[in-house]
Amino acid sequence: MKISKAGIRLKVALLIALVMFLLHNSFWLWKWDARVPYLCGFMPFSFAYYIGYAFLATLAMALVITLSWPDPPPSLLEPADRDTEELKKR
């Protein structure tokens, strides 16, 4: 079965989501809550982890946008399938 380029890009985006899901449900890291020194002197690992996670989420979204979020050509967004006048009235 042939998989299109768009299909591959979508699968990579879903793979990124899966990695982020695993990083959120990273129970094996919980033991570090009591071992890792506080970030900036006051943030324990359980809290600091999600500050890092937020940065990673931004990077992950930037990657998803680059890979799999094409901008549509304006001509394709012209109203279709319904009477333009009807749309204007709405």
Partner 1 sequence: MKSILGMAILLSYVLVLLLIGSYGARMTGKTREEYFMAGRGLGSIAVFMTLFATNITAFTIIGQAGFAYHVGFGAYGYVIGWSIFVTPFTYYLIGYRSWLLGKRFGYATQPQVFGGILNSRAVSLLFLFLLLYYTLPYLVVSIIGGGLAFSTISDGLIPYWLAAALIVGVSLLYTVPAGMRGTAWTDIFQGALFLVISVLLLAALVKPLGGFAAITERVARERPDLLQRALSPELAPANWFSFSFINSIAVIVFPQIFTRIMASRNSRSLKQVTLFYPAAMALIFGISTLLGVWGAVSIPGLLGKESDNIVPLLISRHLSPLWTVLGLLMILAIVKSSIDSQLLTVAHLVTDDLIAPYKQIPPGQAVLWGRIVLVCFSAAAFFIALLRPAAILTIAAFAFSGFSIMLPVMIGVLYWPRANKYGTCAALILPAIVLHLWYLELLPPWSTFGLMPVVPAFFLSAFTLIAVSLLTPPPPAALQKKTFGFFSRIFER
Residue ranges binding partner 1 (CB under 8 A): 4-6, 9-10, 13, 17, 20-21, 24-25, 27, 30-31, 33-34, 38, 40-44, 46-47, 49-51, 53-58, 60-62, 64-65, 68-73, 76-82, 87-90
**Which residue, 1 or 68, has its beta carbon nearer to partner 1?**
68
CA dist., res. 81 & res. 89, Å (int):
15
Least gap, CB of 2 to partner 1 (angstroms): 12
**Which residue, 1 or 89, has its beta carbon nearer to partner 1?**
89
Question: Which of these, 20, 25, 21, lies nearest to 60 by C-alpha position?
Answer: 20
Least gap, CB of 63 to partner 1 (angstroms): 11
Q: How far is CA 17 from CA 9, 36, 83, in A?
A: 13, 27, 39
CA dist., res. 21 & res. 4, Å (int):
26
Least gap, CB of 45 to partner 1 (angstroms): 8
Residues β-bridged to residue 43: 39
